[in-house]
Structure 1
Amino acid sequence: MKYEELKLVNNETDHRFELTVEGYTAFIDYKIKKDKAYLIHTEAPEELKGKGVAEALVEKTLTYLEEQHLKLVPLCPYVQLFLKRHPDWNRLVAE
């Protein structure tokens, strides 16, 4: 994975996970209810498109959810696509 050295920010005020690269911030909007994290929308600025930032963001977010013992509800189409490409992460998906 690229961007290993970058830290995922859990912006609890805005309910989003953020990854800042080259001064631009990509984010995933989320809601957490009980033990489930609903990933709603992923967005990366135009300047970061094609650099693997969104993929790194999703991977870091899933790692965080796993560490927090949260189950995943992937509402975002990009997260759903990521799960198709990386089926091992389906272990986090809520029943």
Structure 2
Amino acid sequence: MTDVRDNPAERRFELTIDGTTAIAAYDREGDTLVFTHTEVPDALAGQGVATRLIAGALAQVRERDERIVPACSFVAHYVTEHPETRDLIA
């Protein structure tokens, strides 16, 4: 998911489509990211954007050998539905 980028200055992952950006906000605690909020603008709703965003974010977390705390309900649901990501939970 190379179109998902980490923006550490804003503490969020971003996915921009047609000039509109969806975000997955996080707080960093060492090598753990606490996902706090996922937001998809109305213009992108219903297109699977949040799923693409979180899949891309978790792929980067895995590449960096980090862990997550899914405090955001969407991230928690994603992890439940994708058991292959559960090993990322701190």
Identify whether the pair has TM-score above 0.5, normalized to the shorter chain.
yes
> Partners in 1 of 2:40 and 2:19 — Cα distance?
12
Q: Say yes or no: does 1:34 pair with 2:22.
A: no
1:40-65 Cα shifts (integer Å, max 9, x gaps):
10000001011000000000000000
Which aligned segments of 4 or more residues in structure 1 are displaced greater than 4 angstroms? Answer: none
- Kindly report which structure 2 residues correspond to 1:1-95, keeping only aligned pairs within 5 A, or say none: 4=1, 7-94=3-90
Structure 1 window deviating more from structure 2 (42-51 vs 81-90): it is 81-90
Q: Distance in 1 between matches of 2:27 and 2:47?
A: 26
Quick one: distance in 2 between partners of 1:93 and 1:78?
14
Amino acid in the other structure paired with 1:7: D
Provide TM-score, normalisation by structure 2.
0.94
**Structure 1: tracts of 5 or more residues without a match:** none
Distance 1:9 1:64 in 2: 9
TM-score normalised over the length of structure 1: 0.89
SS at match of 2:85: helix
Identical columns (%) = 34
**3-state secondary structure, aligned to 1:66:** helix
Which residue identity lines up with residue 9 of structure 1 in the other structure?
R
> In the comparison of the two structures, how many residue pairs are matched?
90
- 3-state secondary structure, aligned to 1:78: helix
Query: d(CA) in 2 for partners of 1:17 and 1:36?
Result: 14
RMSD: 1.0
